[in-house]
Structure formats: C-alpha cells, structure tokens
Amino acid sequence: MPLAPTVPLRNGLAMPVIGLGTWPLRGAEAAAAVRTALETGYRLVDTAENYRNEDGVGQGLRDSGVPREEVVITTKFNREWHSVDGVRQAWRASIERLGVEHLDVLMVHWPNPGQDRYVEAVRGLAALLEDGSIRAIGVSNFSPAHLLRIEEETGLVPDLNQIQLSPYASRREHRTYHREHGIVTESWSPIGGSGDGLRSDAVVAAIAEELGRTPTQVVLRWHVQTGLVAVPKSGNPGRIAENLDVFGFELTPEQLDRIDALDRGEVGVADPESFGH
C-alpha cells in the first residue's frame, strides 16, 4: 500500500495525513498494532504518557524494521510537567520509554487552565525545538483562546493542535483559527469514537455505497479532503489496512457538503476548561 501524503508543519516536518492512534492499546497489543501499521505503510504513530503504552509503541517500531528516521512519532505529556524544566523531564521520560533518541512532535496533552501553566509548557517545548530534541511544537485540546494567549505572551505559535474532531463535531471555529495562524489541525477520535454511530449514519452509509467504499473510509477521506491530519485507532490488522486505504478515491463537492451537514456542534466534545490530565 502506498504511503500517505504529507502536509508541511511550520517548522518543516512533513506530517503524514493519516496515522495510527494507539489508545487504549497496551504492551504486546500496542507493539503488534504498531508493527502491523508500519508494515502496512503508516509513517505516523501517536501515543501519550497518559496512554501508558509508549514502551509498546517503541517495541513495535523496533519489531517493524522500518528505520526510525522514516517514522513520525508524536507523544503527549500530563499537567504535572507544565513548566520549562518539567517539559524537559517529560521529554526525557518519553524517549526512554519509547527507546528513541528524539521525538518528532511533543504535545501539551491538555491546557488545564485551572492550573494556569500551559503557557510555560509551550515555552518548554520551544526550548526543546531550539536544541533539536523535537522537530515540532504540538498542543492538544487547546481552544482558540488558549492559542491566542500563548501567542500574545510568548510570540510562539504551535505547529499543530490535536483536537477531538469528526463530521459530528467538525470544530469549524478551531479550524478557522488554525488556518489563519498556520497551525495544522489533527483529529483525534476522527470516526466518532468507539461506537458505530457515525459509521452507521444514513448519510455516510449512502455515500459509501455510491463509492463502493466502507463508511470508515468515507469519513477518513472527508478528513483528508478537508485538510486535516487524522489518527484513527485500531489494533485490528484489517481495520488498520482499511483506514490507510483512502487515497484511491475522492468525495465530490456534493458529498462533502452532505457530510459537512452532519455537524452537531460541541455536543459530546470534552471541554478543556474543565477536563484534562
């Protein structure tokens, strides 16, 4: 299967537009999924301190035999590390668990505004970028207000923001802000979570039948054509392959419009003002 196309991040990293999400896989299961994905053609793997599977992800990378420099590894750290020195400690712990020498993208997992240290966390990422320890600055679950404050106080603009995003929660305000500020939008839970609601949606199912594709492929193709990076999660080899096989067809403008109309606003979206770890 051909490799996914890439989009350039602000600091020059070429980011594949489809990657493997790894939550809630652990241990040998995580290693097997990562190995399978890399052998299938994935070149982006997403993990996090909070997933407790960085060791398995690293093992899968080694088991695959794919050279480290060909794979974009992204991980995220928790709120206890929200300081310049803390971010460096989080980085060191992640590379040790992963068994790698550098990270491609390190992200602030949640802003945790009640703690009010996310601006310092981004300063810490900037220091890592400057000395080559990471290749891009990432944040996750940040609102436009959080991003604006970072830019106003530090002059820094992250390379990407990983947010909960699917046709049911298309996050138009976030995407507009990102586009205007040169931030790539990355979608977690891109097919709407673990339930089958989006995959069995009548609109998605009808478009899948029109194209001779699966509903999941239709949804992921919507992400690709909308200019997003998506990290669907699966430990099933068949679904891992299915999720990457979205580059041999296109949605028509009319089909895109029908999917766009499924947006339900912020219903079911985790609120970063009150949730985080």
199-221 tens-digit pLDDT? 999 999 999 999 999 999 999 99
Q: Is the pLDDT of residue 194 over 70?
A: no
Which among 16, 5, 273, 13 has a CA at the least distance from the CA of 141? 273
Can you list the domains of the chain with their CATH numbers? 6-194+230-235 (3.20.20.100)
Separation CA 42–CA 4 (nearest Å) = 7
Q: Is the pLDDT of residue 2 over 90?
A: no
Mean pLDDT to the nearest integer, 2-25: 96
Q: What is the pLDDT of residue 205?
A: 97
CA dihedral 139, 140, 145, 148 (to 10 degrees): 10
Task: Answer yes or no: pTM beyond 0.85.
Answer: yes
- CA distances 89 to 94, 100, 118, 138, Å, are 9, 15, 15, 16
Contact (Cβ atoms closer than 8 angstroms) between residue 77 and residue 51: no
pLDDT digits (tens, 9 = 90+) for 219-257: 999 999 999 999 999 999 999 999 999 999 999 999 999
Which among 6, 62, 44 has a CA at the least distance from the CA of 233? 44
Q: Known catalytic residue: 51?
A: yes
pLDDT digits (tens, 9 = 90+) for 52-104: 999 999 999 999 999 999 999 999 999 999 999 999 999 999 999 999 999 99
User: For the chain, how many residues are written?
Assistant: 277
Exactly one of 42, 51, 118, 177 is catalytic; name it. 51
Separation CA 5–CA 14 (nearest Å) = 9
